[in-house]
Structure 1
Amino acid sequence: MHDNSAVGEVTLKDCSFAWCKRDQKVDSPGLDGVNLLVESGSLVGVVGTVGSGKSSLLSAIVGDMRHLSGSVSLNGSIAVVSQAPQILNMTVRDNITFGRKFEELHYSKVVEACQLSRDINRMAAGDLTEAGDKGEMLSGGQKQRVSLARAVYSRSDIYLLDDPTSSQDARVAQNIMRRVLGHDGILGNKTRILVTNNSRLPLKPNQWVLMHKKRGITFRDLKDLKNHPCAPVELFEKPTSKHLPERTSSVNLLNQRCLNDSLRPVLQLIVCDFFQGCFEVVRAYFKYSGACAPMALTCLVASAAFVACQMLCVKAWAATMMDSTENTTHSGRSIIRWLAVFCIGDVSLRLTGGMLLACANHRRSIELHANMLDCVAGSALSFFDATPRGRIFNRFSVDLEINDIRLFIFSKQLVQSILYVFARLAVIGTQAPFVFGPTVFVEIVLLFCLRYLISGAMLGRLYQSTQLSRLLQHLTETLDCVGLIRCYGVMEQFCARFRRMVTVCLEAFNMLVYCFAIGRLISTICALLIILLTVAIIVAPAHDEPGSAGMAGLSLLSAFTSSFFKEQVTELSLLHRRVKQKQQSSEKRTDFLRAAKATNIAVVDFVRVKKPSVTCMADLSFGSPRQVLEQRGQPSFRLDDGMTWNTSNLAKVPSGPHTLRPDESCKAQEADTLKSPSPGPGEP
């Protein structure tokens, strides 16, 4: 609510506020009968005991609390620095600018005043360093200074500061008070409402507000506040320490020699398991499915045998139609009866196998979801600090949907297609052995094309999954910071970012559409080749021999049913990596956490080093037992003090979040490496 008062003036008259919804009945308000008059450009100190309503007063001014009675007058824009800094998974610069236009001069001035220059210079990428989920890459003091710099950069008229130096040491806190909040600081001419527990500030507020029993009492002088019987005693006590330790981040770099020999077997097992083939996925599939999966496979094998018998019956019936004698007519009726029996048996076995596979899929889904939930719910807090929430939501939503529905459908179709293709090949091969020559040639060409098609589709699926995780992460962060976004008035910027991320997800989906369009083209070409082969059989010189008509009908029957097998191979190959990832999350997470806790280590989430010929990426976090390595040559680990890639030694350094730099002893080799030509865009 605004009026014609001076810019930056705040007025509350007999106001009552409550933490409740608009249609909810209020039993007792959170703030009752609050009166406050803050003049433009003044500094107000808010003090009180724990739970007296200091932070609630700031929330009421912002508008996060429900206004019950009284009048509120605010003239100007508002910036908030909360007690718990809200850091988004963006770069440090983006967290400071927060959707506003980047102004280099003003930005440098703000960063210097908020004591962030030294921290940014120590970071590997400077202010372009990613802050991580909830600011996991930053320490507690750095988060608070970034939140303060965000408020100062906004150039607002009213600043609400909830103990902005609680995580800073004495020297940094004094510099911030003097250069930012002081009368000669950047915000010297702005309205500042400061919640503090320290009366010995290096600046003099124009007035003090004592919060007591959900009400505010205003004092013009500190002596009057001190003489009040409700004033907190600890407010005027001398501090026991001159320096307050800065809270460290929940996820730090690997400390020197923190990985001992007991953890090495676990890490080596993780690296080996990641590169194993599809057989482990099949083994896990049968393990979680129980006894229903082997029974279903038996039914489908019997169904394929019935399909082969149907083809032989069709061939025999077509041959008898060439002769119209009485014996052949009787034989044709007998063949039709047998064909009906085989068809009924085939349908019955297919239905039985499908129901058994559905039961197996239901059991497997329950087991996998229960294991994932137990592992995630029982993980250490460090796992949630190191793992973005969007990734967890993606695992429990999209990835589980793939396992529950798509994997079941395509695995069933793939098994049926494999069995039926072999049954048809066996029947046709016994009747026309010359078909195997063209078939082998076509299969070689098909496998060559599928190799590139599956690789492209897998990259597209991975890209889509990554972008979807980022989109979900953006949604969760927006919901967490909705009050902050509304306060700074950057709703449109966040909506625009959301639209851009949705566009990227759609582009990733288009990549998959193109891959499957190419797959359909390959299927069409294969079907045309089969049709041409069938026509060649029909027009062959021996087409009038007994059985040639049946052979032609047999070929036509198989012409449009074999190419579907290729699509199932492609789709199941795309699902393989996701199933394996969830299996590792279920089986390896417990061992990894036990080893990590035993060694008391702090584990790196993402480490990335990019040079012209060396690229490595490691993903080793609490509860995330996998490691991805992309480089040239075979890596050799030195888990106690660093890593070695070929001739380049990479050592841990504490100068920036998640950074590995070359050892000093390898500068000569590094110089030779930098002289080598850069790889192409498609090379790792």
Structure 2
Amino acid sequence: IAYCSQIPWIVSGTVRDNILFGEDYNEAQYEEVLKACALDADIAQLPAGDMTELGERGINLSGGQKARLALARAAYSGAGIQLLDDPLSAVDPRVGRILFKQCIGPEGGTTRLLVTHQRQHLPGCHRVLVMRGGRVVADGSYAQLSAAGGFSAELGGGCAEAAAELDDAAYDEGITDAVTASHTAEATASDDGKGDGSSGADAEFETGKPHGRLIDAEDRATGSVESRVYADYCRYIGVTTTVFIFASLLLGQAAYLGSEYWLATWAPAADQHDPKWLYVYAILVAAVIVISLARALAFFESTFSASTLMNEQMTVRVLRAPLSFFHTNPTGRILNRFSKDQGVADDLLPQVAFDALQSIFMVLGAIVLVCIAVPWVLPTLVPLLIGFAYVRKRYITTSREVKRFDAVTRSPIYASFGATLKGLPTIRAFGAGGRFKEAFVRDLDANGAWWFAFIATARWIGFRLDAISAVMLTVASILAMAIHDKASSLYLVSPRLVGLALAHVLNLSGSMQWAVRQTAEAENNITSVERMLGYTRLRAEVPPRVAEGGGTPPAGWPGGGRLVFDGVSARYRPSLAPVLTDLTFTVEAGSSCGMVGRTGSGKSSLMLALFRLIEITGGRILVDGVDSGKIGLDALRQQLAIIPQDPVLFSGSLRSNMDPWNACADARLWQVLRQVQLAAAVRKLGGLDARMAEAGNNLSVGQRQLFCLARALLQDAHILALDEATANVDRATDALIQSALRNAVRGTDGSGRRRTLLVIAHRIDTIMDCDQLLVLSRGRLVEQGPPAELACKPEGTFARLSQAAAASET
């Protein structure tokens, strides 16, 4: 069995890896599948051909390319049964015709179950099943069902609708006339249908990267942890708090040594019953307790606040990072910083660092006392200190890098686990569970090997520190016996002070060993803070928010939503070729504008430029006369709403997904749900307070798109953008949605506000009633004007489309 899901699942790997999906490579069969799925031309444009690396979820492919890649996977498998869940919704009519004719249609020798809203292909199917309310209400050939009647809503015009598609060469001829061959080099982005903000296929490969590579290697510092990391961590803790902690450590150790000295002096005193001994000792002990509690409370409270603050800044920076950051950094890598590294900063590092600081001050206190009381012991301490320092240096040089490798190799585990969960239906359908399990185990082994290496280094230092401590204890014991009878007579030192000092000497080796261990462990764990700080310095989008210095729009802006592109050129990242070139057009306020074009024409890139998700390298975008590049991003995006091709929904209630700010009354929510034909489905789920599953999995893909449309209609935005927003719904529902959108544009939907509407669609009838039409190719505008005017343009690209659509009405 082979399965092609409605939302294509793309494996992070090369194009060839995704098509073969574990099967052996057969060149002839492979080339045949590429041609049948209309992928040969797309692959030829990629920098490394079919060995080009695809990002997570295929983020550097268009929606149509992802659908064809998933279809090619099913076709190459040669499975006897192939389940194809609406693979044609994301492609334009020409490509859909090619796919059905060469890959899906009646020829092929396998059993194919095709779920589709593309009714023009039904006459080419051997059998047609009509479903209503989860039941099969009709089963037969297209001719039989058409003759029976009663299924016109599902079957549509059939052969007549097939004529509504562009013939294989028509579109290409129009594009060739409009765009010269000199512009071919600029066609470096394949971004059609990426409502989620994914980039063009070629646009994601920088000239400085290995050929065909997309994902950056995870950054990993080397060498000792920079002093700047410690300084930044102290700043997050707070300078005042840091000074207080160190002062309390010093005072606490002084009070502790003072209490022991007082106790040693009190023991042989003749006036032991004098209350002063008890009072002073009680004060010193109380001081030790109070200072210890105060510094512990201050330390752990401040370190937790510091990790919380770093987490908040990481979150803000990641959310405001440029789009290219998410293209080159897998989700698992980001999750690793927010989970494991955050956990270390929250739990392990404070405990280890506190122990290390206390151990250091205890050792320093003991050394000071020994220097005062029995200075002849110092010669034994110097070799001890040198030995401990040497062993620590050798250990930390290795363990620090091992810890970094442990963190880096953990990221693929998160990425692999998350990707496998999302693609579980596809993996099980292809019987590839064993292969993915082996790959996951390999990632675990790689990470486990570094963890084992870290444990081994800990055992290495433990053995050597124990050996040095044993030597030190032996020497100290011999010295203690040697000076037992001579301390008072030769050196005029109080025996009680000698006893106190020697007691500290005996404990000193253990304290020094613990200090070495904990300081080394603290430096190992500080590498997590080092990685977190890297995310707090991520480059942010520009221009900044209004509160951060971005421009403030004038009062009363926007007035109506008039949109002007004035010579706009754009690219995804520096050093990449432009994906939009010198676009100039105007969309009047309260009007609708449709956009058509082949895969890679720049339609979705235009949307991304409007939202300033990609870099504008030339020209300007004006919204009601205000340059969008000179106002804060938050002010701009509050006036824009988009319904992406890949719907985005969040866990929570249906209400929170529709109205995150709880700004609308229930009556308004139900009104919008009725407009998008979701009211019945929401009631069936339990009403507005029903639970929304993760990513909206308790809704069909079409319902998710409609839900996103409802959310956008509720938003108080002047410009509404639709990127194939109704691709996964049937034509009858699509017609109702288009009616609701027309009401939204006119302000007759209950909001009282006229909106400007931008529509990307493959269905010609969806954009036929727009006020204006843009025909794009390779990032350039080749035709623009009212649809009726373009339809009458001799030899025009859109004229061919409209003539084919008119044929379906006859």
Q: 1:161 aligns with which of 72, 81, 84?
A: 84
Task: Give the SS at the match of 1:189.
Answer: coil
CA contact (8 A) 2:85 2:116 kept: yes
2:119 equivalent to 1:190:
no
Q: List per-residue Cα deviations over 1:465-500 (Å, max 9, x = no partner).
A: 233222222222222122222322333333343334
User: In terms of mean alpha carbon deviation, does 340-349 or 308-317 score higher?
Assistant: 308-317
Cα separation, partners in 2 of 1:524 and 1:601, compared to 1, 3 Å: farther
User: What pairs up with 1:357-506 in 2 under 5 angstroms?
Assistant: 357-377=299-319, 383-433=325-375, 439-506=381-448
Aligned equivalent of 1:654: none
Q: 2:253 aligns with which of 293, 304, 319?
A: 304
Cα separation, partners in 2 of 1:440 and 1:167, compared to 1, 3 Å: farther
For structure 1, the 5+ residue unaligned runs are 1-77, 260-269, 321-326, 607-621, 624-684
Following TM superposition, by how much is the alpha carbon of 1:110 offset from its aligned partner in structure 2, in angstroms? 3.9
Following TM superposition, by how much is the alpha carbon of 1:255 offset from its aligned partner in structure 2, in angstroms? 8.2
CA distance in 2, matches of 1:560, 1:87: 56
2:155 equivalent to 1:206:
no
Aligned equivalent of 2:171: 242
Query: What code does the residue aligned with 1:555 have?
Result: V
Cα separation, partners in 2 of 1:541 and 1:434, compared to 1, 3 Å: closer
Q: List per-residue Cα deviations over 1:41-77 (Å, max 9, x = no partner).
A: xxxxxxxxxxxxxxxxxxxxxxxxxxxxxxxxxxxxx
CA contact (8 A) 1:148 1:164 kept: yes
Q: List per-residue Cα deviations over 1:94-133 (Å, max 9, x = no partner).
A: 4333345666765565456545556557666665554221
Task: Give the SS at the match of 1:159.
Answer: strand
Cα separation, partners in 2 of 1:378 and 1:256, compared to 1, 3 Å: closer
Aligned equivalent of 1:518: 460
Following TM superposition, by how much is the alpha carbon of 1:407 offset from its aligned partner in structure 2, in angstroms? 1.5
CA contact (8 A) 2:119 2:156 kept: no
Aligned equivalent of 2:2: 79
Task: Give the SS at the match of 2:417.
Answer: helix
Query: What code does the residue aligned with 2:124 have?
Result: K
Task: Give the SS at the match of 1:560.
Answer: helix
Query: What code does the residue aligned with 1:220 have?
Result: S
CA distance in 2, matches of 1:441, 1:254: 61
Q: List per-residue Cα deviations over 1:1-47 (Å, max 9, x = no partner).
A: xxxxxxxxxxxxxxxxxxxxxxxxxxxxxxxxxxxxxxxxxxxxxxx
CA distance in 2, matches of 1:501, 1:593: 40
Identity of aligned residues (%): 22
2:67 equivalent to 1:144:
yes
Task: Give the SS at the match of 1:563.
Answer: helix
CA contact (8 A) 2:225 2:527 kept: no
Query: What code does the residue aligned with 1:242 have?
Result: Y
Following TM superposition, by how much is the alpha carbon of 1:510 offset from its aligned partner in structure 2, in angstroms? 0.9
CA distance in 2, matches of 1:355, 1:336: 28
2:485 equivalent to 1:556:
no
CA contact (8 A) 1:85 1:144 kept: yes
Cα separation, partners in 2 of 1:588 and 1:476, compared to 1, 3 Å: closer
2:517 equivalent to 1:567:
yes
Cα separation, partners in 2 of 1:378 and 1:123, compared to 1, 3 Å: closer
CA contact (8 A) 1:170 1:242 kept: no
CA contact (8 A) 1:303 1:345 kept: yes
Aligned equivalent of 1:287: 236
CA distance in 2, matches of 1:229, 1:554: 95
Relative to the length of structure 2, the TM-score reads: 0.53
Cα separation, partners in 2 of 1:421 and 1:124, compared to 1, 3 Å: farther
2:530 equivalent to 1:580:
yes
Query: What code does the residue aligned with 1:152 have?
Result: A
CA contact (8 A) 1:251 1:386 kept: no
RMSD, aligned α-carbons: 4.7
CA distance in 1, matches of 2:543, 2:245: 37
Task: Give the SS at the match of 1:561.
Answer: helix
2:18 equivalent to 1:95:
yes
Cα separation, partners in 2 of 1:102 and 1:543, compared to 1, 3 Å: farther
Following TM superposition, by how much is the alpha carbon of 1:513 offset from its aligned partner in structure 2, in angstroms? 0.6
Query: What code does the residue aligned with 2:306 have?
Result: R
Cα separation, partners in 2 of 1:218 and 1:295, compared to 1, 3 Å: same
Following TM superposition, by how much is the alpha carbon of 1:521 offset from its aligned partner in structure 2, in angstroms? 2.1
Aligned equivalent of 2:185: none
Aligned equivalent of 2:572: 602
CA contact (8 A) 2:322 2:539 kept: no
Task: Give the SS at the match of 2:3.
Answer: strand
Q: List per-residue Cα deviations over 1:498-542 (Å, max 9, x = no partner).
A: 334333333232111112112212321332343244135335579
Task: Give the SS at the match of 2:84.
Answer: strand
Task: State the number of aligned residues.
Answer: 510
CA distance in 1, matches of 2:376, 2:36: 84
Following TM superposition, by how much is the alpha carbon of 1:301 offset from its aligned partner in structure 2, in angstroms? 2.0
CA distance in 2, matches of 1:272, 1:194: 51
Relative to the length of structure 1, the TM-score reads: 0.62
Following TM superposition, by how much is the alpha carbon of 1:134 offset from its aligned partner in structure 2, in angstroms? 0.8
Task: Give the SS at the match of 1:206.
Answer: coil
Q: 1:181 aligns with which of 78, 94, 104?
A: 104
CA contact (8 A) 1:178 1:202 kept: no
CA contact (8 A) 1:91 1:131 kept: yes
CA distance in 2, matches of 1:545, 1:290: 46
CA contact (8 A) 1:523 1:564 kept: no
Aligned equivalent of 2:54: 131
User: In terms of mean alpha carbon deviation, does 557-566 or 286-295 score higher?
Assistant: 286-295
Task: Give the SS at the match of 1:464.
Answer: helix
User: What pairs up with 1:635-646 in 2 under 5 angstroms?
Assistant: none
Query: What code does the residue aligned with 1:602 have?
Result: Y
CA contact (8 A) 1:307 1:342 kept: yes
CA distance in 2, matches of 1:601, 1:276: 36
Cα separation, partners in 2 of 1:160 and 1:423, compared to 1, 3 Å: same
Query: What code does the residue aligned with 2:83 have?
Result: L
Q: List per-residue Cα deviations over 1:572-630 (Å, max 9, x = no partner).
A: 111223213323423545467849x9996524999xxxxxxxxxxxxxxx99xxxxxxx
Q: List per-residue Cα deviations over 1:382-424 (Å, max 9, x = no partner).
A: 6545432222332232222111111211121122122222222
CA contact (8 A) 2:249 2:295 kept: yes
CA contact (8 A) 2:380 2:472 kept: no
2:144 equivalent to 1:220:
no
CA contact (8 A) 2:317 2:538 kept: no
CA distance in 2, matches of 1:401, 1:232: 57
Query: What code does the residue aligned with 1:412 have?
Result: F
Cα separation, partners in 2 of 1:454 and 1:251, compared to 1, 3 Å: farther
Task: Give the SS at the match of 2:54.
Answer: coil
CA distance in 1, matches of 2:144, 2:515: 87
Task: Give the SS at the match of 2:512.
Answer: coil
User: What pairs up with 1:44-63 in 2 under 5 angstroms?
Assistant: none
Cα separation, partners in 2 of 1:406 and 1:481, compared to 1, 3 Å: same
Query: What code does the residue aligned with 1:447 have?
Result: A
Query: What code does the residue aligned with 1:519 have?
Result: I
Task: Give the SS at the match of 1:193.
Answer: strand
